[in-house]
């Protein structure tokens, strides 16, 4: 018996070394197994949204860091658990290393310099741990390849003088190979710097070889990219080809400073881009405040729908706004929460609160992160999504808001159900259901207390005297919250 076991072990070892590609083939087989209905992908019944594990999913989230993968152990898992408990299922993850204590990809030598030809395995182990923990919790990770802020300065936003990519800090690159962030990013292509391109390709190959093993990953080429279409399109094509070698189909976007330019670019290159990320619509500096924020989403959806390829998801991985608005570029916390809701009611596929300040005394806060207010919002949105069939509804404009303090926002599956978001303040909505109805049920979600009201039965009223057809009246539903706080009303047609 012992001899038989020994023979089997020896045979297995010999087979492993006799076929060195067997481990690689096994990895490919694993990724091929992932490349099925269980992976994140546009929802086949409504491609404005995503589906995961074969079910439609609205991506909502919040986190206290852009590069969550740089955290390890309990610090990371506690953050993921808190978000998940509040109803979140979506995080942003830049492959960034600009925070103090972050791990670099290159190996540090005893001399104090880095070797760019050798990886720091801790870097990739952290990424694997992050992907394992998010996948366990059914959390979708939107990974950003390049964040030029990593190298763009010496103080708040970057540390080029300290970074391994600075030729002064590695043993591989001659002085002057790159001198700043722009040399490393856009310059590698525009100046045909093969030394830098070779490193970048090797880095991306390694990244995709790991991320392709997971079905919960979306890809963004650049954070607030100003590097031009050549750069973005090159790397979008490159990572799709790299994933294809792993027998995986991946979904890619890029994010520009101007959200409308992002939409235009991805529409022009639907062969390489699968969705749009319009995060810059969610701030005061580059995006609008109030109803115009919602109207932008509706307009971009209209333009995308007119294209030959039709609808695609529109993501918002960053919703800006914090405090009373000391950072005037970001906006206020109140506006951040309302933007989050307006993204949902604007037919966006995702909405996530941006991180707070990176460190005490650092940059002004850009978002509320995974704060108590963010958790409360995630819970409220989750309660709404559990009661309303978002994936069969559309943003709806056949209503009017009466009041002088706020606007309201609506979605509808015409003739079946309607939802109205009241951000808070004095407002009454006159809802035109469009198809003539007589009786509906109405229930109210009190966002602050996270409670639903009892269902009420309501009859639609004629908007014109006696309801005679010759003058063309409509049946109208008049809805008003009981006070000036934030509410969501769900209206379901009975008769």
pLDDT in the model for residue 57: 98
Q: How far is CA 175 from CA 154, 194, 225, in A?
A: 18, 15, 26
What are the residues facing 440 on neighbouring strands?
458, 493
Please answer whether residues 480 and 429 qualify as being in contact, where contact means their C-beta atoms are separated by less than 8 angstroms: yes
Instruction: Tell me the C-alpha distance between 355 and 66, whole Å.
Output: 7
pLDDT in the model for residue 359: 52
Instruction: Tell me the C-alpha distance between 158 and 161, whole Å.
Output: 9
pLDDT in the model for residue 149: 82
CA triplet 360, 364, 366: central angle to 5 degrees?
115
Instruction: Tell me the C-alpha distance between 132 and 324, whole Å.
Output: 37
| Residues 395-452 pLDDT 10s | 999 999 887 678 999 999 999 999 999 999 888 999 999 998 889 999 999 999 999 9
- Rounded to 5 degrees, what are φ and ψ at 274? -110, -15
pLDDT in the model for residue 186: 83
Please answer whether residues 134 and 59 qualify as being in contact, where contact means their C-beta atoms are separated by less than 8 angstroms: no
Residues 6+ apart with CB under 8 A from 57: 43, 49, 50, 51, 89, 140
Instruction: Tell me the C-alpha distance between 163 and 154, whole Å.
Output: 10
Instruction: Tell me the C-alpha distance between 163 and 47, whole Å.
Output: 41
- Rounded to 5 degrees, what are φ and ψ at 231? -65, -55
Q: Which two tokens stand for residue 338?
A: 């309302």
Q: Which two tokens stand for residue 293?
A: 């924020």
Domains and CATH numbers, the chain: 25-392 (3.20.20.80), 394-493 (2.60.40)
pLDDT in the model for residue 226: 84
What are the residues facing 352 on neighbouring strands?
61
Please answer whether residues 442 and 479 qualify as being in contact, where contact means their C-beta atoms are separated by less than 8 angstroms: yes
| Residues 380-404 pLDDT 10s | 999 999 999 999 999 999 999 887 6
**DSSP one-letter code for 267:** H
Specify whether the backbone of 458 is left (phi greater than 0), alpha (psi in -120 to 50) or beta: beta
pLDDT in the model for residue 8: 42
Residues 6+ apart with CB under 8 A from 266: 253, 254, 273, 275, 276, 312
pLDDT tens digit at each of 495 positions of the chain? 444 444 444 344 333 333 334 444 445 445 445 655 789 999 999 999 999 999 999 999 999 999 999 999 999 999 999 999 999 999 999 999 988 889 999 999 999 999 999 999 999 999 999 999 999 999 999 999 998 888 876 544 457 888 999 999 999 999 999 998 889 998 899 999 999 999 999 999 999 999 999 999 999 999 998 889 999 999 999 999 999 999 999 999 999 999 999 999 999 999 999 999 999 999 999 999 999 999 999 999 999 999 999 999 999 999 999 999 889 999 999 999 999 999 999 999 999 999 997 654 445 689 999 999 999 999 999 999 999 999 999 999 999 988 767 899 999 999 999 999 999 988 899 999 999 888 999 999 999 999 999 999 999 887 765 555 555 557 789 999 999 999 999 999 998
Count of helices and strands (H, E) across the chain: 12, 24
Q: Which among 130, 98, 277, 275 has a CA at the least distance from the CA of 207?
A: 130
| Residues 170-184 pLDDT 10s | 999 999 999 988 899
């Amino acid at each position: 018996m012992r001899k038989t076991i020994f023979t089997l072990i020896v045979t297995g070892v010999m087979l492993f070394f006799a076929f060195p590609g067997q481990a690689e083939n096994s990895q490919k087989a694993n990724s091929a197994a992932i490349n099925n209905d269980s992976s994140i992908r546009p929802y086949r019944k409504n491609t404005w949204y995503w589906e995961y594990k074969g079910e439609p999913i609205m991506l909502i989230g919040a986190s206290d860091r852009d590069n969550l993968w740089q955290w390890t152990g309990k610090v990371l898992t506690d953050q993921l658990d808190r978000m998940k408990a509040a109803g979140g299922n979506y995080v942003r993850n830049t492959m960034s290393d600009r925070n103090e204590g972050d791990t670099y990809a290159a190996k540090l030598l005893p001399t104090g310099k880095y070797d760019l030809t050798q990886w720091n395995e801790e870097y990739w182990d952290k990424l694997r741990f992050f992907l394992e923990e998010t996948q366990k919790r059914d959390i979708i990770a939107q990974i950003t390849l390049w964040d030029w802020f990593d190298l763009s300065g010496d103080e708040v936003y970057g540390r080029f003088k300290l970074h391994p990519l600075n030729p002064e800090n590695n043993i591989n690159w001659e002085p002057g190979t790159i001198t700043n962030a722009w040399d490393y990013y856009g310059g590698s292509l525009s100046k045909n710097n093969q030394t830098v391109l070779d490193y970048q390709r090797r880095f991306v190959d390694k990244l995709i070889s790991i991320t392709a093993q997971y079905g919960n990953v979306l890809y963004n080429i650049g954070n607030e990219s100003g590097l031009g279409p050549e750069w973005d399109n090159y790397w979008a094509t490159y990572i799709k080809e790299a994933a294809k070698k792993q027998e995986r189909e991946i979904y890619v976007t890029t994010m520009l400073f101007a959200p409308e330019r992002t939409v235009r670019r991805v529409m022009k290159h639907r062969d390489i881009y699968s969705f749009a990320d319009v995060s810059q619509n969610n701030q005061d500096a580059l995006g609008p405040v109030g109803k115009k924020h919602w109207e932008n989403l509706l307009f971009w959806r209209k333009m995308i729908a007119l294209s030959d390829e039709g609808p695609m998801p529109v993501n918002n991985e960053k919703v800006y706004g914090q405090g009373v608005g000391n950072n005037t570029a970001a906006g206020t916390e109140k506006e951040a929460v309302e933007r989050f809701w307006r993204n949902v009611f604007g037919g966006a596929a995702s909405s996530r609160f941006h991180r707070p300040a990176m460190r005490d005394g650092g940059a002004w806060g850009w978002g509320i992160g995974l704060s108590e207010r963010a958790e409360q919002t995630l819970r409220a949105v989750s309660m709404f999504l559990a009661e309303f069939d978002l994936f069969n509804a559309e943003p709806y404009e056949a209503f009017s808001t009466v009041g002088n303090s706020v606007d309201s926002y609506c979605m509808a599956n015409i003739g079946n159900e309607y939802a109205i978001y009241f951000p808070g303040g004095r407002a009454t909505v006159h809802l035109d259901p469009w198809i003539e109805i007589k009786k509906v049920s109405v229930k109210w979600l009190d966002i602050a207390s996270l409670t639903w009201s009892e269902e009420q039965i309501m009859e639609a009223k004629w908007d014109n005297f006696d309801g005679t057809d010759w003058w063309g009246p409509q049946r109208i539903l008049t809805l008003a919250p009981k006070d000036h706080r934030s509410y969501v009303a769900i209206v379901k047609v009975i008769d």
